[in-house]
Chain A
Amino acid sequence: MAAEAAGGEPSLDIERHLKYWKMCLRSPLPHAYLSNEGNRMALAYFIINSISILTPSSPPPPSSDTAADKPPTPPLIGPEERRALRQWVLSHQHAAGGFCGTSSLIFPLRDYEEWDFEAGAPTQEHSGLANIAATLFALQLLALLADDETADSAFSGVDRVRTLRWLRRLQRDDGSFGEVLRLLPGRGWFIGGGYDMRYCYIATAVRWMLRGHVKAGEPGWVDDFDTAGLARYILTSQTYDGGFAGSSQDEPHAGYAYCAIGALSLLDRPLENSKASHPSAILHSGIRDMPRLIHWLASRQFVYLEPDTSADDDDDDDDDDAVNFLLPKTLSDLSLDENLHYAGFNGRCNKVADTCYCWWVGGALANLGREELLPRGPSRRFLLEKMQHRIGGFGKYPGSPPDLYHACFGLAILAVMGEPGLSPFDSSLAVPVETVRRIERARRGLLKNASEERKAGTLGRELVNMGLALSEKTPEWLVGVTGGAW
């Protein structure tokens, strides 16, 4: 499908990718996605994010000869549908903050009765389960589903205060984050999800989207999580070879390296009009061994060699390594021109090439402001000629059928590398740049509401206080209602 344009470079068939995503948008996903049933919000993000990458709101002027007569096509997702999908996203919000990853974890509202909303803490275990990743994807979706007219209210309906309070409770003593909170019988509160750099990144992204500049005591103030503790945890997770792992005792992994870099950079990213690769002090002065980190990231690229199809069938086993991580017989082979055609990326040393690592490695380098280290031509060719599928989308390995995850991140890295026709992409927040501007507007809208609500709330409080002054003592029912927050 990668049509050879003049000059021999393949071109991206945007229409075909849109067709694939339209199918994912309109029809139920096949049974193979069952294992993602708990993470449907993630799948939803892949779909809407990809459509946004493929349909920039200010598309480049079409080349004169091809599209002059074409009538303007209606948007793939109309305003009505956007509103309805927004409602779907918001329906996943947990009454105690955060978002659930799937409708099977949302319970009827009456089941949240045991929650002390004022204190932001449960009086006992509650039904439903908010998940940190679902919370990020839900916020990204709300911004992706907004347009220029509705951006200011994109986050309206999001319970900013409870979500940020809940986020704090997901942080462990060592500074790291888990994904869910659960009360285990006889064991107390448990922060589930293992030691995973993804949650650390997500915590900083949610904080960046929702918290805003509010001074202590001002309306909308919420206690921050322990940012220094988080930074410390991440910085000590650098491994002996320069990469990042879930913790320093594990093997480094490109996905975790992306998350570590992204998290550090988001901790001090300016809230307005900033770029993904802003000069982050926490990131650039904090990383213990930056040269080794860059070395490790650069080492994830390798020359992708075509499997020799003429080889004897007996040798052709199903081992991925055999077809996907071919080593040159001698190093001199690598210096041959034709072998420089494709650059694959792996996630760990001596592992196979996989579409998503183009994104995790490329995105990490972009966040460090080191895009020039990416072999743009060979990476692009590798994606378009080896990983792209006939029906649109990208697969995991050469020849694999497309799936939402790889299809989305294949587009994302092409957008980061400046692919014509795609939305410019923010490698740190993993949405188009125009969506980041909408997130900023949405955050402002949310904070404005918070301060207005507080003003309205003051009047009510004064009325109650006046009533209390007239009566002799506080009635018992009011104690429960206010939770001592007056």
Chain B
Amino acid sequence: MLALSRCVAFPFRSPIQPPSPLENPHHRPSKPTKATTMPPKGKAAPKPKGTEATKPPSVSTSAPVAPPSTTTTTTTTSAPSPGPSTVSERSQQRFDESRPYEAAREKSGLSSLAPAEQVAWISSQLARSSAARARLGPKAQRELWRHVNEASLPIRAPKTKPSSGSWGKDRAGQYIGGYTAARFDDRAAKRISLTALEIASRAFKHTRERARKGLLDPLSREPVVLAENETDQEKNRRRQMAALRRELYGQTMGQFEQDPEWDDVVPIPQDEPEMALAAIAYPASYAEAISYLRAVMQKKEYSPRCLRLTEHIISMNPAHYTVWLYRASNIFAMKLPIPDEIEWLNGVALEHLKNYQIWHHRHLLVDNYYPSIADDAEKVSQFAASERAFLAAILAQDTKNYHVWSYRSYLVGKLGTWGADELAAIEAMIADDVRNNSAWSHRFFLVFSNPAHTTPGTAATDPDPAVPRDIVDREVQYAMDKTYLAPQNQSPWNYLRGVLAKGGRRLASVEPFAAEFVAGLGEVDEAELVRSTHALDLLAEIYAEKGEREKADLALRRLAEKWDRIRVGYWEWRRKCLDVAG
């Protein structure tokens, strides 16, 4: 069937499906076959009361939809047959009944029939063909009609012979000709209902269009108005249409196709060559939404319904960057309040933790919102507090979420929230998990990019003389304190190195601290104890800094040989570097 051959992924290309092709010409309640002028009624012979095997039964004028009672009649040439169980059989029977002796003649030739049968056959042929009859004289014609009436020969009949292929298949691939009459009638009734709904739906669109244009009703001369409940009725109608189309033809009618609000948008389905890479098996509902998105993006429509469309697509695929950009365009074009959008975004972000388009969107929103509150310190501080609360909520779900931390550092720079609140929030996170390197990184940024006491534009790895000594002291102490909690945790060791570089201090200034974690280096067996490879690593650098090449080499060798053998290649490389430096 047409419906099934349509591309499954894009079934909504045309909003109104054409009515299904004629399922079987024999069953169309059509005009009676043009046969002839009716025979004079008065001369009609009384119809046979019973059924006789030798007499073909009369067939009512509209044979194709004759009531089932006709099925109790018998065929002309054989013993009584059971009533047809399927509509296909019924058609065949009707065809046979309308052509007495035809089957026998076809089989064995006209001469094989009895003389009376021959006359009956010839008469019924002539009765159906006005062209042939025209050649008969008036007398012969009278004779003919007398014969026809006396024998009750059928004069109307289906023109073409039923063929098994003409019924088509239903959505399940089942042969429709194999339906029972009741089932077939049910199907026909549904098709009629669908057609009626489609007509009503078209009328709705027509009225709506006239109402939109402000046209006058030709009869009442009043402006056409679309009653309030009509749209709801139409929605209801589309639901019924969708159900019928699905049932009859297996066609899906998408969510947008069902919504009268989207009637004016012609979706742009994707067009892809047969040979493609990385096609994704996604549901038709997604394909439909994208095809509407394409259409409104192309029109550059910015409206509440477009905003809802983006929300719908984001709920299915939040990683589609285009949808986010289009959403932002809608918000800017309609000048919607950005705080509302941010609030909506909070829920989406909590639902899709690993997504980063959400954070780009938030970044863009804040970039555009901040100028409107920049002059109002109160508002900025309120906004900062609400953002901090949200960040706390989302980091509670995923403490090392890269996108969240990245947004957080951006926000600090944007809002200038370098103060105690932010530092306290980070300290709490490090206290909670001393291995949270994201929090350590944020702290470094917070302390050493704060414009109040740093030189703007200094690289993270470069010393900055503007940083006060007591801040460097404080951070060195902080790193050391946290190191004691878990000596093999690399985060505070990295932090310590970073602070020393910022403060322009020598590594040797922390030699006693690093040495606390290493005992008996180079001594035999149990005497050598290293509690942190990072301490030993730092000591190696300190020795090299101080020019104590042998000690540095020993530290590196012990790392390679025993304490951190997975990195043997690295430690050996460091040893070679000592040689170059020395």
Judge whether B278 and A193 touch: CB under 8 Å.
no
Is the beta-carbon distance between A349 and B490 smaller than 8 angstroms? yes
Q: CA–CA, A404 to B276, complex, Å?
A: 16
Counting CB contacts under 8 A, is B86 at the interface? no
Asked if A236 contacts B563 (CB within 8 A), the reply is no
Please determine whether A331 and B278 come into contact, CB atoms closer than 8 angstroms: no
* CA A141 to CA B278, docked complex, whole Å: 13
User: How far is A288 from B460 in the complex, measured between Cα atoms in Å?
Assistant: 10
**CB-based contact B275/A84 at 8 Å:** yes
Among the listed A33, A246, A288, which residue makes an inter-chain contact with B461, where contact means beta carbons less than 8 Å apart?
A288
Task: Name the CB-closest residue of A to B324.
Answer: A192
Bound CA–CA A350/B488 (angstroms)? 11
Q: Quick check: which of B112-120, B179-187, B258-266, B401-409 contacts chain A, the rest being far away?
A: B401-409
Given contacts A40-B278, A192-B321, contact A240 B494 (CB under 8 A): yes
Contact of A37 among B282, B325, B355, B405 (CB under 8 A): B282
Is A278 an interface position by the 8 A CB rule?
no
Chain B 295-307 interface mask (CB, 8 Å, partner A; 1/0): 0011010100000
Tell me, yes or no, whether B453 is within 8 Å of chain A by CB. no
Once bound together, how far apart are the Cα atoms of A442 and B90, in whole Å? 70
Question: A186 is contacted by which of B268, B332, B355 (Cβ under 8 Å)?
Answer: B332
Q: Are B494 and A350 interface neighbours, CB within 8 A? A: no
* Chain A residues within an 8 Å CB radius of B461: 238-240, 242, 288-289, 292
In A172-193, which residues have CB < 8 Å from any B CB? 179-180, 182, 184-187, 190, 192-193
Segment with Cβ contacts to A, from B17-25, B67-75, B206-214, B569-577: B569-577
A38-B322, A88-B275, A348-B400 are known contacts. Are A299 and B490 too (CB-CB below 8 A)? yes
A61 to B111, CA, bound (A): 84
CB atoms of B363 and A239 under 8 A apart? no
Contact B462 A103 (CB under 8 A): no
Alpha-carbon distance A36/B320, docked complex (angstroms): 8
Give the number of chain B interface residues (Cβ < 8 Å): 88
The stretch from B139-147, B235-243, B339-347, B430-438 touching chain A is B430-438
Is A240 a contact of B495 with CB atoms below 8 Å? yes
A70 interface contact, C-beta 8 A: no
Do A31 and B281 have beta carbons less than 8 Å apart? yes
Interface with A: B155-163, B225-233, B245-253, B441-449, which one? B441-449
A125 contacts B566, C-beta separation under 8 Å:
no
Q: In the complex, A104 Cα to B287 Cα: how many Å?
A: 9
Give the shortest distance, in Å, between A372 (CB) and chain B (any CB).
Answer: 5
Select A194's contact among B286, B359, B495, beta carbons within 8 Å: B359
Interface: B224 (CB within 8 A): no
Which of B271, B283, B531: most chain A Cβ within 10 A? B271
Cα separation A211 to B481 with both chains bound (whole Å): 53
The answer to whether B280 touches A37 (Cβ under 8 A) is yes
- State whether B278 touches A47 (Cβ < 8 A): yes
Measured between C-beta atoms, what is the minimum distance from B569 to chain A in Å? 4
Q: Does B368 contact A (CB under 8 A)?
A: yes
B58 interface residue per 8 A CB criterion: no
A378 to B470, CA, bound (A): 45
Q: Is B555 an interface residue (CB 8 A)?
A: no
| Shortest CB distance B206–A (Å) | 29
A-B contact count (CB 8 A): 240
Assuming the contacts A40-B277, A105-B322, A194-B363, asked whether A298 and B438 have C-beta atoms less than 8 A apart, the reply is: no
Q: A44-B277, A108-B268 are in contact. Are A351 and B460 (CB under 8 A)?
A: no
> Contacts A240-B501, A241-B498, A372-B573 given: A340-B459 contact, CB under 8 Å?
no
0/1 interface trace, chain B 327-345, chain A, CB 8 Å (1 if under): 0110011000000000000
Chain A residue, CB-CB nearest to B494: A241
Q: Which residues of B contact A301 (CB under 8 A)?
A: 566-567
Please tell me if the beta carbons of B332 and A184 are within 8 angstroms of each other in the complex. yes
Kindly state the interface size class of chain A when it binds its partner: 35 or more
Chain A residues with CB under 8 A of B530: 331
Q: Are A252 and B441 in contact (CB under 8 A)?
A: yes
Q: Given that A108-B268, A240-B498, A374-B569 are known contacts, is A48 also in contact with B276, CB under 8 Å in the complex? A: no
Tell whether B200 is near chain A: CB-to-CB under 8 Å: no
B68-115 contacts to A, CB under 8 A, are none
Looking at chain B's contact residues, is the secondary structure mostly helix, strand, loop, or mixed? helix
Out of A87, A179, A292, A349, which one reaches B437, CB within 8 Å? A349
Report the nearest A residue to B405, measured CB to CB.
Answer: A251
Q: Does the CB pair B400–A351 fall under 8 Å?
A: yes
Pair B566/A327 contact, Cβ less than 8 Å: no
CB of B413 closer than 8 Å to a CB of A = yes
In contact, A303 and B280 (Cβ under 8 angstroms): no
Chain A residues in 8 Å Cβ range of B563: 331, 334-335
A76 at the interface (CB under 8 A from B): no
Report the stretch among A22-30, A432-440, A453-461, A471-479 that lies at the interface. A22-30
* Contact (Cβ within 8 A) B275 A38: no
Q: Which of B128-136, B191-199, B311-319, B546-554 contacts A (4 or more CB under 8 A)?
A: B311-319
Partner of A239, one of B290, B400, B441, B573: B441
B272 contacts the other chain (CB 8 A):
yes
In the complex, chain A residues whose CB is within 8 Å of the CB of B448: 240
Contact A193 B360 (CB under 8 A): yes
> Is there a chain A Cβ closer than 8 Å to B294's Cβ?
yes
Residue of B nearest to A342 (CB): B566
In the complex where A301-B567, A373-B569 touch, is A88 in contact with B317 (Cβ < 8 A)? no
Query: B356 near A: Cβ within 8 Å?
Result: yes
Check: B568 CB closer than 8 A to any chain A CB.
yes
Q: Flag whether B396 is at the interface (Cβ < 8 A).
A: no
Q: Which of B274, B317, B562, B569 counts the most chain A CB atoms within 10 A?
A: B569
Q: Report chain B residues within 8 Å CB of A252.
A: 441
Distance between Cα atoms of A36 and B316 in the complex (Å) = 12
A87 x B275 contact (CB < 8 A): yes
Closest Cβ of chain A: how far from B329's Cβ, in Å?
5
Task: Report A-chain residues with C-beta under 8 Å of the C-beta of B298.
Answer: 107, 111, 127
Q: How far apart are the CA atoms of A105 and B462 in the complex, in Å?
A: 44
* Inter-chain contact B441/A334, CB cutoff 8 Å: no
Residue of A nearest to B433 (CB): A350
- In chain B between 468 and 506, which residues have their CB closer than 8 angstroms to a CB of chain A? 488-491, 494-495, 497-499, 501-502
Looking across the interface, which residue of chain B has its beta carbon closest to that of A181?
B325
Smallest Cβ-Cβ distance to A370: which chain B residue: B573
User: B347: shortest Cβ distance to chain A, in Å?
Assistant: 18
* B566-A251 in contact (CB<8A): no
Collect the chain A residues with CB atoms within 8 Å of residue B368's CB.
187
* B565 and A340 contact, CB distance less than 8 A: yes
By the criterion CB–CB under 8 Å, are A253 and B322 in contact?
no
Question: Is the C-beta of A411 less than 8 angstroms from some C-beta in chain B?
Answer: no
Q: Give the shortest distance, in Å, between A269 (CB) and chain B (any CB).
A: 24
A249 within 8 A of partner (CB): yes
Contacts of B442 in A (CB 8 A): 251
Closest 5 CB pairs of A and B: A240-B498, A43-B278, A44-B277, A84-B275, A185-B333
27 contacts between A and B (CB under 8 A): A29-B280, A30-B280, A33-B280, A36-B280, A38-B319, A43-B277, A84-B274, A87-B273, A185-B333, A186-B333, A187-B332, A235-B459, A239-B441, A239-B460, A240-B460, A240-B499, A241-B495, A242-B461, A248-B460, A249-B460, A292-B497, A298-B569, A331-B563, A335-B562, A343-B566, A349-B490, A372-B573
Task: Enumerate chain A interface residues (CB-CB to B < 8 A).
Answer: 24-25, 28-31, 33-38, 40-41, 43-44, 47-48, 81, 84-85, 87-89, 91, 103-108, 111, 125, 127, 129, 131, 141, 179-180, 182, 184-187, 190, 192-195, 235-236, 238-242, 245-246, 248-253, 288-289, 291-292, 294-295, 298-299, 301-303, 327, 331, 334-335, 340, 343, 348-351, 370, 372-375, 378, 404
B interface residue numbers (CB < 8 A to A)? 268, 270-283, 286, 290, 294, 297-298, 300, 302, 316-322, 325, 328-329, 332-333, 355-356, 359-360, 363-364, 368, 400, 402, 405-406, 409-410, 413, 435-438, 441-442, 444-445, 448-449, 459-462, 488-491, 494-495, 497-499, 501-502, 530-533, 562-570, 573, 577
* 14 further interface pairs, Cβ-Cβ under 8 Å (given A38-B317, A334-B564, A340-B566): A30-B281, A38-B319, A48-B277, A106-B270, A107-B268, A186-B333, A190-B364, A240-B502, A241-B495, A245-B441, A250-B445, A331-B488, A335-B563, A350-B490
